[in-house]
Amino acid sequence: MSFNIEKIVRDNVKGLKPYSSARDEYVSDGSQMVFLDANENPFENGVNRYPDPQQRSLKSVLAEQKGVRVENLLLGNGSDEVLDLLFRAFCEPKQDNVITLPPTYGMYKVLSGTNAIENREVLLTADFQPDVESILGKADAQSKLLFICSPNNPTGNSFKSAYIIQLLENFKGLVVIDEAYIDFAEHESWATQLQAYPNLVVTQTLSKAYGMAGIRLGICMASSAVIAVLNKIKPPYNVNELTQARGLQRVNDIEKVQWEVSNILSERNKLTTALQQVPFVQLVYPTDANFVLVKVDDANKRYMELLKMGVVVRNRTTQPLCENTLRFTVGTPEENEKLITVLKELSVS
């Protein structure tokens, strides 16, 4: 497939020389050196030194686990930072546009707003799949990014790979597949296809399955050419020392993560079955994520009732195609029991 990255990088980024930090100019080889180059406080407290700007320890483990090379990886302060970097690297304000597929993750729209980029919305079809023909019809030479959230938030389903392939093959900008929920899905990551599609960008996060929303660690996987562009504009120390250390601990304890994911998956099944028996629930949508979208009789009313009973869910009724829907995140077995009890109580009253 022919794809020329030079054609889509912003002009100012093309000519940019990135900030060169002390830790870029002298990369430690492990030998005992006296570090007097970064104006740090020399008294050790665990965080008195600047973190590794390239997060090499973390990336080497992630590269192996994700089946990509280190040069195909960029880490961010959450995947939200990665998404913002994509806008700033490839979209010329007030000139370029991006394409998003509502109902979907709200950050794409927020980021297009803050970066002064037109957001062209193409609704998903009634069965929550991308409308390939309309998407390609809306795209023009200024369409730099296409955001595909799969599994999709808030609907929970994954998009059919045939549709994604059509988009990868025909969209002229970068196709960004947001895989925040991939660890809950049965199918494999699109990151396995990086060699085949030079315009593919895959984002993942430690915020969901890995249980580390608090440390803010996002993963971007793409061709080394795309990663090199993002590296030029990223803040030098965008992933702090505490995040790198806790993130590394967690990815090295991958069996624990997998155990938690399988627990969440069996709880998701239990919750789905229970929801299907609730009289005011009209539809439980199939899900590949750690949440379940449900159509109810009156979402605003049921949302308030649940709140009064001490359960906070997400009311998605204002989203397109999501009228009267609530989104339930799968909790611990105890939390799900509590939810199910509350749903039963609300059903009899």
Ligand X SMILES: *Cc1c(COP(=O)(O)O)cnc(C)c1O
| Smallest separation (angstroms) from ligand X to the CB of 77 | 8
Assign 203 to helix, strand or coil: strand
Q: Residue 6 carries which DSSP code?
A: G
By the rule CB under 6 A, 178 interacts with ligand X: yes
Q: Which of 51, 53, 78, 173 binds ligand X (CB under 6 A)?
A: 78
**65, 203 contact by CB (below 8 A):** no
Whose structure tokens read 């109810």? 296
By the rule CB under 6 A, 80 interacts with ligand X: yes
User: Cα 125–331–265 angle (5° rounding)?
Assistant: 65
In angstroms and rounded to an integer, the radius of gyration of the C-alpha atoms of the chain is: 22
Beta strands 143-149 and 73-76: pairing type? unpaired
Site for ligand X in 255-314 (CB under 6 A): none
Q: Which of 50, 87, 90, 105 binds ligand X (CB under 6 A)?
A: 105
Q: Which CB sits closer to ligand X, 215 or 274?
A: 215
Name residue 284's beta-bridge partners.
Answer: 294
| Smallest separation (angstroms) from ligand X to the CB of 97 | 20
Q: Which CB sits closer to ligand X, 53 or 78?
A: 78
Q: Which stretch binds ligand X (CB under 6 A): 95-103, 121-129, 200-208, 245-253?
A: 200-208
| Smallest separation (angstroms) from ligand X to the CB of 208 | 6
Helix (H) or strand (E) holding 341: helix 333-348
| Smallest separation (angstroms) from ligand X to the CB of 261 | 15
Q: Which of 280, 271, 300 is nearest to 349 (CA)?
A: 280
Q: Which of 194, 196, 192, 102 is nearest to 152 (CA)?
A: 102
Q: Which CB sits closer to ligand X, 82 or 194?
A: 82
| Smallest separation (angstroms) from ligand X to the CB of 161 | 18
- What residues contact 127, with CB distance under 8 A and at least 6 apart? none
Q: Which CB sits closer to ligand X, 53 or 218?
A: 218
By the rule CB under 6 A, 205 interacts with ligand X: yes
Q: Which of 10, 29, 160, 167 is nearest to 96 (CA)?
A: 10
Q: Which stretch binds ligand X (CB under 6 A): 23-31, 53-61, 162-170, 207-215?
A: 207-215
Q: Which of 55, 150, 153, 290 binds ligand X (CB under 6 A)?
A: 153
The residue at minimum Cβ distance from ligand X is: 78
